[in-house]
């Protein structure tokens, strides 16, 4: 049976500033590269059989760090690119609330049905993510494989909602997803089952080092 490792990319430069990245092609920060390296160390013990990635640089760079030394070339798939936040990309939530409060409140109440101005709703994104999942399950079946999928915060949360049968409208309220977080899903008789959610235990040495440098824990 295959196991599918859905991974949020390492920290991007805009993540560090709490800005919405969406489809904007923002690179990894230095911290994000360190996070990806820690994740790669953890995953080399598998080792992975196939690596899929979003085309966006922050995901592709994370995938390339994971692939280093494995002999694998990450396979780019547009369907796991991040949700398009339209006019809100590059803004913080505080900035969005200040300039587009009514639209933000409508989106926040039901992000699956409502899209940001010029952007994509969670439901629209979920449709392409489900197609990717169905193809993934059909392609990797009947044998023990470890499949890496490097994507994004909202993509991971929507995929988990689908696996658990949660309404897509709940993805922001019910699920957290940190940078370089690891999620594992597996096929089951009823479709999919969740094995691991939002695990960042591989980053603990980074957090401890940062706390030590600041003199706090």
Active site residues per annotation: 9, 82
| Rounded CA separation 205/213 (Å) | 12
Strands 146-151 and 75-76: unpaired
Peptide bond into 22 cis (omega under 30): no
| Rounded CA separation 116/215 (Å) | 41
| Rounded CA separation 175/168 (Å) | 11
- According to DSSP, the residues that pair with 12 across neighbouring strands are 28
User: E strands within 59-215?
Assistant: 75-76, 146-151, 182-188, 191-199
Side-by-side strand order, sheet with 3-8: 75-76, 50-53, 146-151, 3-8, 182-188, 191-199
How many angstroms separate the Cα of 4 from the Cα of each of 33, 36, 82, 167? Answer: 22, 18, 18, 22
């Amino acid at each position: 049976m295959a196991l599918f490792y859905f991974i949020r990319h390492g920290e991007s430069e805009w993540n560090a500033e709490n800005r919405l990245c969406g489809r904007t092609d923002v690179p990894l920060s230095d911290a994000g590269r360190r996070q990806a390296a820690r994740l790669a160390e953890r995953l080399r013990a598998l080792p992975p059989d196939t690596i899929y990635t979003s085309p966006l640089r922050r995901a592709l760079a994370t995938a390339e760090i994971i692939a280093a030394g494995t002999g694998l070339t990450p396979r780019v798939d547009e369907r796991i690119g991040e949700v398009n936040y339209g006019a809100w990309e590059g803004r913080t939530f505080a900035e969005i609330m200040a300039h587009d409060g009514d639209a933000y409140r409508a989106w926040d109440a039901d992000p699956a049905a409502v899209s940001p101005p010029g952007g994509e709703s969670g439901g629209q994104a979920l449709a392409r993510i489900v197609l990717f999942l169905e193809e993934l399950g059909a392609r990797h079946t009947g044998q023990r494989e470890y499949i890496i999928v490097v994507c994004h915060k909202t993509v991971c949360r929507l995929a988990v909602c689908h696996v658990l049968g949660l309404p897509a409208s709940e993805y922001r309220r019910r699920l957290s997803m940190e940078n370089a977080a690891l999620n594992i899903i597996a096929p089951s008789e009823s479709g999919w089952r969740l094995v691991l959610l939002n695990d960042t235990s591989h980053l603990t040495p980074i957090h401890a080092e940062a706390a030590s440098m600041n003199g706090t824990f």
